[in-house]
Structure 1
Amino acid sequence: MTILNVSAYKFVGLDDLESLRARVVERCEALALKGTILLAPEGINLFLAAPRETVEAFLDWLRDDPRFADIAPKESASDDVPFARMRVRLKKEIITMRAPAIKPVEGRAPHVRPVDLRRWLDQGHDDAGRPVLLLDTRNDYEVAAGTFEDAVGYGLSSFTDFPAAVAADRERFEGKTVVSFCTGGIRCEKAAIHMRDIGIENVFQLEGGILTYFEEVGGSHWRGDCFVFDGRGALDPALAPSDAT
């Protein structure tokens, strides 16, 4: 049986976390889902795995809530469920940055679609003629599995270290178009908002992150695999579990 793996997030204000968690837990248990769902005042972040009809039943239920009506998951397949159990957790943030001034619910970061990023990389500059700098916002062990050619990475042990790393490296970004990227879009969205808020110009996030890039573009300008937070370990650019794991 083929297993559908989905990941998705949405920054949206949530003020009913306890009751929402109870409803989500009830639905997940009824469907025998496995994975992880994080709920926080700033939104939802989810990773689920099951046969397609089961995952789609949960997503249909979730989208009945107007706050999640437009949630758009990224998909990949596996032979087995890569989670041991189902966890639904309440958190202070759905991705921890400890920068309370950053509020994605108040407006998205500017983004570039995968097909446009590939075109920029193919031609060596963006559409305005500026050089493109790719900024990997992930942690060091994720970067070790694979990243874009010539991407800048900070060897982070935690995303909370990102603001200080950027502050010490501002000169690098002058005169360039910066594209922040991460696995699914959530970290690079916060990163792009932070960089914009501290006055760095021409900053975009990669729409949908690496997984959407793989889905829409493949492995162009990428080297290695993409680390994922489940039992598969890493995915190759065809979104298949990597032979290296």
Structure 2
Amino acid sequence: MASVLNISAYLFTRLADAHDLRPVLRDRAHAAGIKGTILLAEEGINMFLAGEAQAVRDFVATLRDDPRFAPLTTKESWSTAQPFGRLLVKVKREIIRMDHPTIRPDAGRAPAVAPETLRRWLDAGRDDAGREVVLLDTRNAFEVGYGAFEGARDLRLERFTQFPDAAAAAAASLRGKTVVSYCTGGIRCEKAAIHLREVGVDAYQLDGGILGYFEQVGGAHWRGECFVFDEREALTPDLVPTAGANR
């Protein structure tokens, strides 16, 4: 029986005290028996954590007591074993590295598309205005190999820092279409959509990423699994580890 709660969560919110927060969150998570990774930066927080369900949810609830983290939302899945070997809490320059400092989601997000809306567009073959919808995968190429949306465009990235140049090269072919950027949990496609709009593309982000889509509407228009950055390796659209993954 799957009894270990796994969460992924991120939030772009201004943190002037990331270095001070690090030991506080590390000690709090360690005391609760939680393992995984917490990344802190001036631009926000990014977490992949697992543990006993009530302990994980209490940790998140306490975090939300800080007004800066009040809007934090989590995506949940389950496993029968702890998928992380240890707890890491780090302070980084960015919670997701893009090396493009003008992209500041905390100052304003690109428009987001809800999973239910995206499914409706894909069912119809067009958006509500009748325009062609292009799904743009912002993940690394090896992740795409595990699974992707049907017909999605893949920029063959080795790392996310390559996205700005790849997007600029693809921009001319994307203009005039409704472009929906997507990634595992939403953090990369949030930055990606802002950059795409800067280069003249009518871009949106998939709210909650692939995992949010799985949670809300299942595997419609998806083929394969979704790679995740822990020992489970990949999840099916039912949000369970794939056969052969560490359960």
Q: Which runs of 5+ in 1 are unaligned?
A: none
Find out whether 1:23 has 2:24 as its counterpart. yes
Count of equivalent residues: 244
Aligned residue in 2 for 1:84: 85
Partners of 1:222 and 1:126 lie apart in 2 by 18
Aligned residue in 2 for 1:36: 37
Shift of 1:244: 5.4
Aligned residue in 1 for 2:195: 194
Shift of 1:211: 0.2
Q: Normalising by structure 2, what TM-score?
A: 0.97
The answer on whether the counterparts of 2:185 and 2:209 sit within 8 Å (CA) in structure 1 is yes
Partners of 1:51 and 1:149 lie apart in 2 by 35
Letter in 1 for 2:32: L
Aligned residue in 1 for 2:96: 95
After superposition, residues 73-222 of structure 1 pair within 5 angstroms as: 73-200=74-201, 202-222=202-222
Partners of 1:32 and 1:244 lie apart in 2 by 26
Moved over 2 A (4+): none
Q: Which runs of 5+ in 2 are unaligned?
A: none
Q: Deviations over 1:5-25 (max 9, x none)?
A: 000000000001121111101
Identical positions, percent: 57
Partners of 2:170 and 2:47 lie apart in 1 by 32
Over the aligned positions, Cα root-mean-square deviation in angstroms equals: 0.9
Aligned residue in 2 for 1:239: 239
The answer on whether the counterparts of 2:113 and 2:205 sit within 8 Å (CA) in structure 1 is yes
Aligned residue in 2 for 1:54: 55
Partners of 1:14 and 1:199 lie apart in 2 by 30
User: Which secondary structure does the structure 2 equivalent of 1:240 belong to?
Assistant: coil
Shift of 1:174: 2.2
Shift of 1:169: 1.2
